[in-house]
Chain A
Amino acid sequence: MILEMKNIVKTYGKVVANDNVSIDLNEGEILAIVGENGAGKSTIMKILYGLEKPDSGEIFVKGKKVSFNSPLDAMKLNIGMVQQHFMLFGPMSVTENIVYNNEVSRRGFFDWKGNREKVRELSGKYGLNVDPDALINDCSVGTQQRVEILKTLYQNADIIIFDEPSAVLTPGEVDELLSTMKNLAKAGKSLILITHKLNEVMEVADRVTVMRSGKVIGTVNKKDTSTDELSYMMIGRHTSQLNIPDMKTGKRLLEVEHLSMGSALGKKVLNDVSLHVDAGEIVGIAGVSGNGQSEMIRCITGLEKQYEGKVLVCDQDVSNQGVSIIRKAGMSHIPEDRYLWGSAREASLSDNFLMGEEDSDAFSSHGILKQKTIDRHADRLIDEYAIKTDGCRQKMKELSGGNAQKVITAREIERDCPLTIACEPTRGIDIGAMEFVHERLVNKRDNGGGVLLVSSELSEILKLSDRIYVMYEGHLNYEFRHGEVDDRKLGRLMLGGKADE
């Protein structure tokens, strides 16, 4: 056994990210760690790579008890990591990226020939094809990832962690990656693969550890398991408790036609997305995050204007239009990141509640703010959503994360407009408040509004949605009505499985 992590506990404030997690890795094997977002897999890997310190628990590498203070310590113990977000120097060559901090030099000068030779040698040894002189920025994402792998090998890593390695790759590149991983294992390296794509797991892994809500649910041999069993272990059983009566849908509130968008890296992030939301329905987007949901929402809400396709809000064509026009057309938006987009931490709650409405007649006249009305409005929302605060003059940054989320959710749900785009509206808030937010969303629908709900909580989607789209790799693959689909099937589809498996 080359690596053993025993009873690792890690908490962030009140959130338990890792609850007594134990993981072991044999020499020359590929261990997959699977789980939904927030299951605790990245935390355990951060601990293993020295990026985080565990509250308690022990780590043994090659039988010796160790502790890490930084990635450097991990590197010294021959642990390497291929991060999801590449850590590369874009304008530099492949060689320069691989040999960094361990260069071959002659009297202080960078020895191009020697370094290039070393890279050639290494890439030949493991069959990882790269052009040592190519610039990283000119390389495909697949090549960039190979450079990351070569970097870990250059530092003599015996244990290599792959963090969601296929998330950024095209299908062809994924196949190549998987065969690379098998080769590495054959060459005696021990690999940990963190992923939520079960078909990849079934292809390369020797053993699979499943995590859910910070705990290890179980470790199974690949031979003895199936995609179905794994996805069930990952997602668990979610029942739709809140049985919502069917509603007659009314006029079309949102129509998205053939939305496509490319990323800077030359990959299609959105691929011909079409969907619609009618008055009187909640439409859920199920999908593992990172499959294009954020980009789709950015296009619909006007934060992104470089896309192809059409967006109509309340019959008004708002394609490639700015935020204020789209908002005026009748949309509110709970953004997925509460601090990056959703609020100003240094501003008061009143100011945060006002955003988007500062020019409306309700809150200003002739350009002068009606501060009393604004404060009253803020107080009402604070009261209704039970936001814990000293009052509407308190600064946003003094609120806890859950309360901050409530401020944003309250602002957008209570806005007087037919359509609400809700991204992760209950992220980090307590159960009671969550129920309340759900009620308000349903209430909005019952009053003839429409909601487009994006959530990484499958239970939330299943519970609230009248219709569900499944999003996978930038495309909406399936559409179901409420009750037509169960959590097992949905979970499988979200992970790239087929409907009739």
Chain B
Amino acid sequence: MNWTDPLIVMTYRELKRFVRAKSRLIGSIINPLIWAIFFGLGWSSAFNFPQARMIFGGVNYMTYLTPGIVMMTVFTASFISGVTVIWDKQFGFLKEVLVAPTPREPAIIGRALGGSLTALLQGLIVLIVLIPLVSKIKLLGIMPVILIGLLVGLSFSAVGITLATKMTSMEGFHIISSFIMMPTIFLSGAFYPIRTMPEWMKALAYANPLTYGVDLTRYYLLGTSDLGIGIDFLVLIVLTTVSLTVASIIFRSATID
């Protein structure tokens, strides 16, 4: 059986759904913008002294925060998009794929791709809105950031899909959002540098894949990297491969029991 049709059509479905659900789009952009503007601008004026700028790599806090907020947007949107497979499971669309004589791997990879493209788009919209508020930005850096966003989006869509395929109840959805999403964001270096964290927190931050996406984005938009972009790319590529493989394997044997 061919792989392209299910892959393309599942991506198409996610994109169509995204275009239709305008309220969801607004909701998912407003939240990071509120963080960026109220949290970011608030702290930015409090940290308005030279030593503080050194902590944030020579830029003001608002500028430091912006790449983090972009990655937070991509992460949240793609992860939730993956987890919504649980609605598909409860409400039938999943069954539609499961009874079809199509290989399941491309169907689920297509869904992850769709989720990551829409997440990327949301991240870019947030970035564009925030550009007037930052003191410095490398506009050409947006090109590599698109690739980074895509990798981060694919990985976390796949992680979300894996969790949702294994979840049996919708209650799990809320547990996931508080136990996975918030810590992942806080431990990614999006809001504050990892260098100054307590050791135990630092360890968690290094174990957090989102950290590498944030570091890369900051490198391409602002020119500073804490971890080195070689290791960043390596981690992201490995993460994307592994998470998509795991999601495919889990979904291949999915039943509706």
Do A and B interact with each other, yes or no?
Answer: no
List residues of B whose CB falls within 8 A of some A CB. Answer: none
